[in-house]
């Protein structure tokens, strides 16, 4: 393979040519939600394009007969739709999103980073073995709800489970709003079982810890292992860290898979509404507590404790809810703490500088 060959998969993996068909707007995920945001004239003058990959050097965009690079822009991320301004590409209009996954940067300034936009379904993946962990599942479900992406729990390695129904039952306790499916991620089962969500033009993403079968599922949907393995090999060849990769793959079945390894390390920050949606039952109960600020720690008239005492609510679930709330408020509050520390540090630096310059003056 010469060096040109090694570059080619990089484009075909993302540009919508995976199935050999040219991209149409519908196959890229265009639908009335986006179409209604611009006039017919605007759409013909500035054609819609979808951001299919984010690299350090910029955005890769794909539209009808369009496959180009734009300079980096901080307000757009993979999955976004833009109206391409050919005369001035950086001025291309960003369309409103259906959903958005974001996180705070791990560095000191902790700015918001956009991870992925316009995902239609978040498959929260775990396997029917020791990886299965209700707290972790609830965390991912809360993240999805916070981003306004409907989650679906996918239990893999069903073929290896001895008591499959008990895993399914456990997963179903998380939320009435979250469907649960169980499958063998290898072979053709995923294409059938996930078909209600993986329709042509729909954008899906797999969340879950390492080894649960996310790549296996992607490959099973694609009917090939070419795409997922290709993207990984290419990164390795360039010596880049695979987790920085954010790509949208159009796969043979017609849906789009958003491959964002960065979503794995997402912390729960500013996710109060996602947690409330996940624990709708406890949320509803706490609204009935006598005191508006009830901590559910023995106050009179506490509906949450009453439900636990009468066996209507699992105390372990209440404990996990509190832990997630604590994680969320810790992560959100530590930002303020950092700011205070940064200000104090800046003051200290200025004072030291002032002292040293005044000392140097004759
Ligand atoms: N028997 C069985 N094996 C599975 C199933 N799903 C995944 N595996 C195997 O589990 C291993 C890990 O699967 P991957 O698809 O690589 O897991 P992943 O979630 O993509 O892992 P990372 O890439 O590390 O995040 C592979 O050897 C798969 O063949 C399943 O449903 N049944
Ligand atoms: Zn209470």
Q: Are residues 43 and 12 in the same domain?
A: yes
Which of 79, 94, 109 corresponds to the end of one domain? 94
Band (pLDDT 50/70/90 cuts) for residue 4 is: very low
| Residue 160 shares a structural domain with residue 87 | no
State residue 32's pLDDT score.
96
- Shared-domain flag, residues 59 and 167: no
- Indicate which ligand has the atom closest to the C-alpha of 215: 1
Q: Evaluate whether residue 271 is within a structural domain.
A: no
Residue 155 · residue 66 · CB < 8 Å: no
Could you tell me if 256 and 332 lie in one domain?
no
This model of the complex carries an ipTM of: 0.97
11 is in an annotated binding site: no
Q: Is the pLDDT of residue 231 over 50?
A: no
Instruction: Tell whether 174 and 84 lie within a shared domain.
Output: no
Q: What is the CATH number of the domain that holds 198?
A: 3.40.50.300
Domain CATH number, residue 310? 1.10.40.50
260 in the same domain as 227: yes
Q: Is residue 67 part of a domain?
A: yes
Q: How confident is the model at residue 9 (pLDDT cuts 50, 70, 90)?
A: very low
Residue 8 confidence (pLDDT) above 80: no
Alpha carbon 22 to its chain's center:
27
Per the structure, the count of domains in the chain is: 3
Q: Which of 26, 101, 104, 89 is nearest to 58 (CA)?
A: 89
The tally of CA atoms less than 13 A away on the side-chain side of residue 76 is 29
- In sequence order, what DSSP letters do the residues of 181-232 get, joined into one string? EE--SSTTHHHHHTTTT--TT-EEEEE--TTSSHHHHHHHHHTSSHHHHHHH
Domain containing 182 equals 117-265
- Is 260 annotated to bind a ligand? Reply is no
The pLDDT tens digits of the residues spanning 282-292 come to 999 999 999 99
Q: Was 332 annotated as part of a binding site? A: no
**Which residue has tokens 């690299």?**
55
75 plus 185 within the same structural domain: no
Using an 8 Å Cβ cutoff, are 158 and 184 in contact? yes
Q: Which tokens belong to 277?
A: 């949606």
Ligand 1 proximity of 189 Cβ (cutoff 6 Å): no
Round to whole Å and give the CA distance between 35 and 46: 12
Is the whole-model pTM more than 0.80?
yes
For residues 136 and 207, membership in a common domain is answered with yes
Ligand nearest to the CA of 225: 1
Is 231 found in the same domain as 123?
A: yes
Report the chain's mean pLDDT, rounded to a whole number.
83
Mean pLDDT of the region 245-273: 78
Q: Does residue 134 share a domain with residue 253?
A: yes
Residue 112 resides in a domain:
no
Name the DSSP letter for residue 268: -
Taking the C-alpha atoms of residue 106 and residue 310, their distance in angstroms, rounded to an integer, is 43
Residue 81 belongs to some domain of the structure:
yes
What's the 178 CA to ligand 1 centre distance in angstroms? Answer: 23
258 and 350 fall within a common domain: no
Q: How far, in Å, CA of 256 to CA of 311, rounded? A: 43
How buried is 65 (Cβ within 10 angstroms: 0-12 exposed, 13-18 middle, 19+ buried)?
Answer: exposed
Residue 156 beta carbon below 6 angstroms from any ligand 1 atom:
yes
Buried b / exposed e across 259-297, counting CB within 10 Å, b at 16+?
bbbbbeebebbbbbebbbbbbebbeebbeebeeeebebe
Query: ∠ at Cα 48 (195, 122), nearest 5°?
Result: 30
Instruction: Indicate the pLDDT class of residue 130, thresholds 50, 70 and 90.
Output: confident
Based on the fold, state whether residues 76 and 158 are members of the same structural domain: no
- In the reported structure, the alpha carbon of residue 338 is separated from the centroid of ligand 1 by a whole-number distance in angstroms of 39
Is the residue at 105 inside a domain? Answer: no
Q: Which atom of ligand 1 is nearest to the CA of 218?
A: 15
Examine residue 273 and state whether it is found in any structural domain, yes or no.
Answer: no
pLDDT bin (cut points 50, 70, 90) of residue 64 is very high
Nearest CA residue ID for atom 29, ligand 1? 216
């Amino acid at each position: 393979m010469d060096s040109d060959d090694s570059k080619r998969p990089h484009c075909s993996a993302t540009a919508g040519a995976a199935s050999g068909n040219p991209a149409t707007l519908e196959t890229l995920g265009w639908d009335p939600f986006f179409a209604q945001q611009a006039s017919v004239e605007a759409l013909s003058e500035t054609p819609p394009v979808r951001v299919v990959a984010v690299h350090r050097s910029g955005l890769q965009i794909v539209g009808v007969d369009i496959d180009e690079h734009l300079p980096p822009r901080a307000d757009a991320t993979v999955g976004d739709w833009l109206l391409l301004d050919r005369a001035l590409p950086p001025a291309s209009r960003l369309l409103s999103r259906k959903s958005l996954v974001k996180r705070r940067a791990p560095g000191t300034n902790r700015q918001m980073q956009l991870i992925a936009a316009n995902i239609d379904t978040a498959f929260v993946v775990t396997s029917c073995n020791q990886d299965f962990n209700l707290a972790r599942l609830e965390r991912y479900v809360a993240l999805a709800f916070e981003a306004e992406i409907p989650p679906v729990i996918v239990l893999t390695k069903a073929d290896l489970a001895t008591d499959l129904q008990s895993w399914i039952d456990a997963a179903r306790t998380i939320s009435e709003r979250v469907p649960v499916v169980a499958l063998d991620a290898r072979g053709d089962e995923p294409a059938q079982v996930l078909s209600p969500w993986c329709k042509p033009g729909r954008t899906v993403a797999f969340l879950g810890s390492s080894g649960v079968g996310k790549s296996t599922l992607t490959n099973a949907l694609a009917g090939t292992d070419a795409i997922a393995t290709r993207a990984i090999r290419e990164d390795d060849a360039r010596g880049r860290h695979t987790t920085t990769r954010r790509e949208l793959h159009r796969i043979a079945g017609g849906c789009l898979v958003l491959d964002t390894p960065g979503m794995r390390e997402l912390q729960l920050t500013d996710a109060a509404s996602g947690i409330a949606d996940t624990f709708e039952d406890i949320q509803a109960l706490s609204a009935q507590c006598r005191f508006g600020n009830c901590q559910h720690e023995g106050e009179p008239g506490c509906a949450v404790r009453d439900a636990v005492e009468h066996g209507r609510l699992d105390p372990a679930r209440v404990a996990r809810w509190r832990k997630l709330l604590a994680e969320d408020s810790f992560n959100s509050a530590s930002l303020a703490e950092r700011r205070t520390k940064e200000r104090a540090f800046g003051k200290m630096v200025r004072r030291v500088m002032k002292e040293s310059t005044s000392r140097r003056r004759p």
